[in-house]
Amino acid sequence: MSGLGKIRRALCMLFVLASACAGWARTATTPSSATLLLEEPYGKLGFFTATGHAAVYLSGVCAETPLLLRRCAPGEFGAVISRYDGVGGYDWVAIPLIPYLYAVEKTDDIPLFADPKLASFLRDRYRRKYLEAIAPDLGDGATPGGNWYELVGSAYDRTAYGFQIETTSAQDEAFIRAYNASPNRSHFHITYRNCADFAKDVINFYYPKALHRSVVADVGITTPKQMAQMLIKFSARHPQLELSRFVIPQIPGSEARSTPVHGVVESFLKSKKYIVPSAIASPIFAGCVVAVYVGTGGGRLDPAKQALVFNAERELEPPLGSEDRRSYQSELNLLVADPGTEANAARVEKWRRLLRDAVPDLDAQGRPIFYIRRGEEVVSVGVAPSNILASDAPEPFTQELLEARLHSELRRGNPPKASESDVTRDWNLLQKAMNSADTEVATRSRRPQQIATDDSLASSFGSRQ
């Protein structure tokens, strides 16, 4: 069984590499795309409103600067463009895809595990390098306040869902000309000029009248979820646009997890702090809310349904199957020092305590690390796939970080947390970390049984134009 496991693992890795190479080879020939990003709410604002955030990712449009668009060169990922409140007085800002999601410039530098300090450090480093014109330093050189942090590192705060349709080079060029020539001054208003209104206008520029707000389900306010529902319906009427659905998982770590996204009426109905007092004060009003919710189908969209998993280094891939997940979890429990006794929440809490006094920084190659005090000495712990095994941290630090990440990826429930390839990579990193600490334990462990990946692995993701 050990030999068969090694053969399956080798075949799986060869298949992943072949798929990645094929994806990059298609970069110059596949059409560009527009992707509506439906982003979950988080933090204090998410407590009061669960409508989330909307942005548009254009795979054929790149950011010369955050305020100037251009056509992408071969191999570039494209840019995310959105409207924000109180960011330099501008109506829209464009950020390259990888920094927008992870606040780093190279896919090899994306952290495996993050806490608020690391996210803030990476965001501020990117701001100082590229966003000074939008969010300049304070007079004493300190980091400014405000909403600029929403421009980069989105995946540290929340899960996002992508609804991608094909576009053409001619459409991209027309969009670039129009938006570069338009007055980019903010007139943000939460009810009629919000982020979802901007996303609606961008998609409608490519496909006029594709999206519209719901006067009933969202009381006339444009919401991200309504835009996603409209785009799904529009693509059903135009199958040549080849709609793809995918999820961008939130980075594992000690940041609070984001919450499901709702429409306006749905948010009111599903929130006890709103609906319970309303039902007590006016049962008729509460009944009307329920009737509107049921009649409009406001809660029918499950953004995670049939969603592939986004990975910055590869094509879209199917999420890890339930049998594979159980197999990995069983094997992981056999590898850890205290199998089955420490829940994922406890592991995250252990890392939160460990990182409480840690200092985020970059190594000599510009990759993220933590400096952690261990007794009288200070050690560096790499937190990216490219440096996690190269740091001078004691093996238990590296192993526990990888265990915490794997437990997060293997956690049950929606949305999908990882693809087969994601878990395979992290599993192999854990095996290598354990090899360096205990060869006998690594020899005794084995790769869980594989389940064949379906044909949807070959779905092309338009970010490689």
Residues 58-90 have pLDDT tens digits of 999 999 999 999 999 998 999 999 999 889 999
Q: Are 54 and 227 contacting, i.e. CB atoms less than 8 angstroms apart? A: yes
Question: Using one digit for the tens of pLDDT, what is the confidence trace for 115-124?
Answer: 999 999 999 9
Residue 287: per-residue pLDDT: 60
Question: Using one digit for the tens of pLDDT, what is the confidence trace for 205-231?
Answer: 999 999 998 776 676 789 999 999 999
Q: What span, in angstroms and rounded, lies between the C-alpha atoms of 34 and 45?
A: 27
Q: What span, in angstroms and rounded, lies between the C-alpha atoms of 257 and 190?
A: 24
Residue 265: per-residue pLDDT: 61
Q: What span, in angstroms and rounded, lies between the C-alpha atoms of 205 and 187?
A: 19
pLDDT class for 279, splitting at 50, 70, 90? low
Q: What span, in angstroms and rounded, lies between the C-alpha atoms of 18 and 15?
A: 5
- Of 166 and 353, which is predicted with more confidence? 166
Question: Using one digit for the tens of pLDDT, what is the confidence trace for 411-460?
Answer: 888 889 999 999 999 999 998 888 875 543 443 444 554 433 434 333 33
pTM summary value:
0.82
Both tokens of 315, joined, read: 């094509």
Contacts of 280 (CB under 8 A, 6+ apart): none
Over range 348-356, report the average pLDDT.
Answer: 70
Q: Are strands 79-82 and 93-96 parallel, antiparallel or unpaired?
A: antiparallel
Q: Are 118 and 354 contacting, i.e. CB atoms less than 8 angstroms apart? A: no
> Where on the phi/psi map is residue 451: left (φ > 0), alpha (ψ -120 to 50), or beta?
beta
Q: What span, in angstroms and rounded, lies between the C-alpha atoms of 153 and 28?
A: 28
Q: What span, in angstroms and rounded, lies between the C-alpha atoms of 14 and 4?
A: 15
pLDDT-above-70 percentage for the chain? 73
Query: What are the domain boundaries of the chain?
Result: 27-315+458-464, 322-453
Burial per residue of 339-349, b for 16 or more beta-carbon CB atoms within 10 angstroms, e otherwise: eeebebeebbe
DSSP assignment, residue 152?
Answer: S
The answer, yes or no, to whether residue 24 has pLDDT greater than 60, is no
The answer, yes or no, to whether residue 355 has pLDDT greater than 70, is yes
Considering the chain, what is the average pLDDT of its residues?
81
Q: What span, in angstroms and rounded, lies between the C-alpha atoms of 87 and 83?
A: 9
Residue that the structure tokens 């878990």 belong to: 423
pLDDT class for 393, splitting at 50, 70, 90? confident
DSSP assignment, residue 56?
Answer: E
